[in-house]
A and B are shown apart, each in its own frame.
Chain A
Amino acid sequence: MALRKPPLREVHAERGAKFTEFGGWDMPVEFDGIRAEHDAVRSSAGLFDVSHMGEIKVSGPDATELTNRLTSNDVAALDPGDAQYAAITNDDGQIIDDTVVYLLPDGETYLFVPNAGNDDRMHERWTDHRDEWGLDAVVENATDEYAMFALQGPDAVAIAAETTAASVADIARFTAVSTEVAGVDCLVARTGYTGEDGVELLLSASDARTVWTALADVTDDGATVQPCGLGARDTLRIEAGFLLSGQDFDIESGPRTPFEAGIDFAVDLDTSFVGRDALAADDPEERLVGIQLTERGVPRHGYDIVSTENHVIGEVTSGTMSPTLDAPIGMGYLPTEYADPGTNVRVVVRGGQKSARVQQLPFYER
């Protein structure tokens, strides 16, 4: 099957990006090196094209009920412009996807952002349940109409402010405003997935070049903002302890509940949603923990974690060499008796065991 392309695929190629397949999309994985891009986001700002993320719009009289019954959080609590992190769970309370739900500033339309490659599946999930429950709502998969960018880092808000009509500094965390960036209509949200302050922008795919170019070129000293690929996005989100769909949970190969995954804050058991009853009875025997190797090596997805008594007790779900900590870090699910920070464990790297310690997540917090 042909890969889906972000609107600026050729612009990135001209800039010298390397590409990778991710979730069925042909995405830039690095522009100038993962470490350089990572460091730019931690110290100043970096600009990501995340147009592989899906956009599903839900409107109509029953949009709130439909979306509330399919997400783990409480969308009825959202004011216009609010954003909310949530899990989308099955009847067993296992995470199918994680998402951010926006109530758009018009106060009438929900827009939620499933992970790359999950947009069709989520569109179908919403329409199937709408029909099954006899609800009156319009569900639209708008993924191909949108570009999505993330400008992240301590200087991101100031940089965004230079081209944005509304006051970016006044946008509260996890809220969004409709405004213009470089003269283009955008939804500007104070959200991100890097552990830094910053904004994410949703805009028409046809205006992508105007906005990308404007953001990439704006700085006080005339230097350009560092463009970043998915490689740096991955190292940044691992340091911040954020989950990656398909890796830290996978409904087919590694189903996990929100409680196991440590995203309890995204679950509101006072609402009625698919998976709610299973979660109300859930007493997780395993939990997502941070792992740091104390000798040379790099933990990677799929590597076994063993106890000091040499029993396999889990698997690394995400891992990397942390550019910020200059240390090999990862995440994985361990039985609760091994989940306390400081517990000594080992990670099996190519048949050899490397000493490691359980760490409190996140590894990095601004």
Chain B
Amino acid sequence: MSFEIRDDCRYRESHEWAHPNGVVRVGITDFAQDELGDVVFVELPREGDTLSQGEEFGVIESIKAVSDLYAPVSGEVAAVNERLFDEPELVNESPFEDGWMLEIEPDDPDLDTLLSAGEYRDQTE
């Protein structure tokens, strides 16, 4: 089985992706959604909350498992994907697009502390 890993994202070992585009958009990877299975519930912070890199920012639940979500960067939450509250399955269907979770206004736009796509690929293989 091969999973999508986008070259324009950076990654945490805990399977969150971070996509820099002014703000940093955050979600979980294709690999992670497949491991979790059918996602049924997502708990996310509010706009304006501040997060530190590595801090738990929310919880994702599939039918079979509960998993914490970790902030890939420090900063302020600029947007939350509220569609996920009613359509958590978007995380399964479209982990890099419609299933995004947060946009963070980063304290430091440099994402070099995160894994590159290649490094993340090595981790999942």
Q: Which residues of A contact B (CB under 8 A)?
A: 16, 29-30, 33-35, 231, 234-235, 296-298, 300, 320-321, 323, 328, 350
The total of interchain contacts (Cβ-Cβ below 8 angstroms) comes to: 35
Give the chain B neighbours of A300 by CB distance below 8 A.
66
User: Quick check: B59 and A34 within 8 Å, CB to CB?
Assistant: no
User: Quick check: B64 and A34 within 8 Å, CB to CB?
Assistant: yes
User: Quick check: B63 and A231 within 8 Å, CB to CB?
Assistant: yes
Give the chain B neighbours of A298 by CB distance below 8 A.
40-41, 61, 66
User: Quick check: A35 and B38 within 8 Å, CB to CB?
Assistant: yes
User: Quick check: A34 and B37 within 8 Å, CB to CB?
Assistant: yes
CA distance A234 to B38 in the complex (A): 14
Does residue B3 face the partner (Cβ distance < 8 Å to A)?
no
Chain B: interface size category: 10 to 19
User: Quick check: A231 and B37 within 8 Å, CB to CB?
Assistant: yes
User: Quick check: B63 and A34 within 8 Å, CB to CB?
Assistant: yes
Give the chain A neighbours of B37 by CB distance below 8 A.
30, 33-34, 231
CA distance A328 to B40 in the complex (A): 9
User: Quick check: B41 and A321 within 8 Å, CB to CB?
Assistant: yes
Give the chain A neighbours of B62 by CB distance below 8 A.
34
User: Quick check: B63 and A297 within 8 Å, CB to CB?
Assistant: no
User: Quick check: B64 and A296 within 8 Å, CB to CB?
Assistant: no
CB distance from B65 to the nearest CB of A (A): 10
Once A16-B1, A231-B64, A321-B63 are accepted as A-B contacts, the answer to whether A34 and B38 lie under 8 Å apart by CB is yes
A selection of 26 A-B contacts at a CB cut-off of 8 Å is A16-B1, A29-B64, A30-B64, A33-B37, A34-B37, A34-B38, A34-B62, A34-B63, A34-B64, A35-B38, A35-B63, A231-B37, A231-B63, A231-B64, A234-B64, A296-B41, A296-B85, A297-B41, A300-B66, A321-B40, A321-B41, A321-B61, A321-B63, A323-B38, A323-B63, A350-B59
Give the chain B neighbours of A350 by CB distance below 8 A.
59
User: Quick check: B41 and A235 within 8 Å, CB to CB?
Assistant: no
CA distance A33 to B38 in the complex (A): 7
CA distance A92 to B63 in the complex (A): 35
Interface residues of B in 44-78 (CB under 8 A from A): 59, 61-64, 66
CB distance from A141 to the nearest CB of B (A): 30
Q: Which partner residue on chain A sits nearest B35 by CB separation?
A: A18
Q: Which partner residue on chain A sits nearest B62 by CB separation?
A: A34
CB distance from B111 to the nearest CB of A (A): 29
Give the chain B neighbours of A323 by CB distance below 8 A.
38, 63
Give the chain B neighbours of A234 by CB distance below 8 A.
64
Give the chain B neighbours of A320 by CB distance below 8 A.
63
> Considering the complex of A and B, which 10 residue pairs feature the smallest CB-CB distances, nearest first?
A321-B40, A35-B38, A34-B63, A298-B61, A231-B64, A34-B38, A298-B41, A321-B63, A33-B38, A34-B37
CA distance A321 to B64 in the complex (A): 9
Q: Which partner residue on chain B sits nearest A32 by CB separation?
A: B37
Question: By CB atoms of chain B within 10 A, which of A29, A235, A321, A328 has the most?
Answer: A321
CB distance from A289 to the nearest CB of B (A): 22
Q: Which partner residue on chain A sits nearest B64 by CB separation?
A: A231
CA distance A188 to B118 in the complex (A): 52
CB distance from A208 to the nearest CB of B (A): 25
